[in-house]
A and B are shown apart, each in its own frame.
Chain A
Amino acid sequence: GENVEQHPSTLSVQEGDSAVIKCTYSDSASNYFPWYKQELGKGPQLIIDIRSNVGEKKDQRIAVTLNKTAKHFSLHITETQPEDSAVYFCAPPPKGGADGLTFGKGTHLIIQP
């Protein structure tokens, strides 16, 4: 099965600064790389994803970059705001995207005012 590692486990940044979270995976067949955000008391919600034929994808203040050779992908959040405070999970599914997700341990992002 897929082995997923996520770093750091906790990240504290000043409001307005950038945050970067990295995820490494083991399954070479992985070809879909999503990031989910979980706010307190809620279920995870997809915020951005990327497919293996693309190296980078951007959506306003968030972006995901993929390095298939090194088997890692990263979430970048620029101009952080208080509402960005949450737990972020990478969740590359094995065997493509039709199966259940394998979640990393999560990164608790804290935005300091």
Chain B
Amino acid sequence: DAGVIQSPRHEVTEMGQEVTLRCKPISGHNSLFWYRQTMMRGLELLIYFNNNVPIDDSGMPEDRFSAKMPNASFSTLKIQPSEPRDSAVYFCASGILAFYNEQFFGPGTRLTVL
């Protein structure tokens, strides 16, 4: 298995532009998580899905952030419009819906908003 796949790996954009981050979870996994990592705030959970349904989006910082999971093999995190403070590494993770289960992280997308 290739593991969790994220694209792009690096994204540089200008303030005000729309940014779309993509994630392909591990086949057979039915939970998907989006995290953000910064030096100041560490690793934060943004939103997660179980069986393609958003369960908790309380970590999404603002209405500028939105996430979708149209099917079991694809999810997007969109920022519109982007701001410099959105600069961070965004991780997608997947797992099997159950208690006590491991989450498998992708390599992350490093976003820089100028």
Contacts and interface: CB of A to CB of B under 8 A. Distances in A.
Contacts of A32: 99-100
A46 B107 contact: no
B107 A103 contact: no
Interface residues of B, number: 26
Given A43-B93, A44-B43, A101 B103 contact: yes
Interface in A81-108: 89, 96-106
Interface in A21-62: 32, 34, 41-46, 49, 51
Interface in B46-101: 48, 50, 55-56, 59, 91, 93, 97-101
A49 B100 contact: yes
B59 A100 contact: yes
Given A100-B33, A100-B45, A43 B107 contact: yes
B103 A46 contact: yes
A103 B46 CA distance: 12
Contacts, number: 58
A99 B42 contact: no
B102 A49 contact: yes
Interface string B14-55: 000000000000000001010100000011110010100001
B113 to A, nearest CB: 20
A96 B43 contact: no
A102 B103 CA distance: 12
B105 A105 contact: no
Contacts of A106: 42-43
A89 B99 contact: no
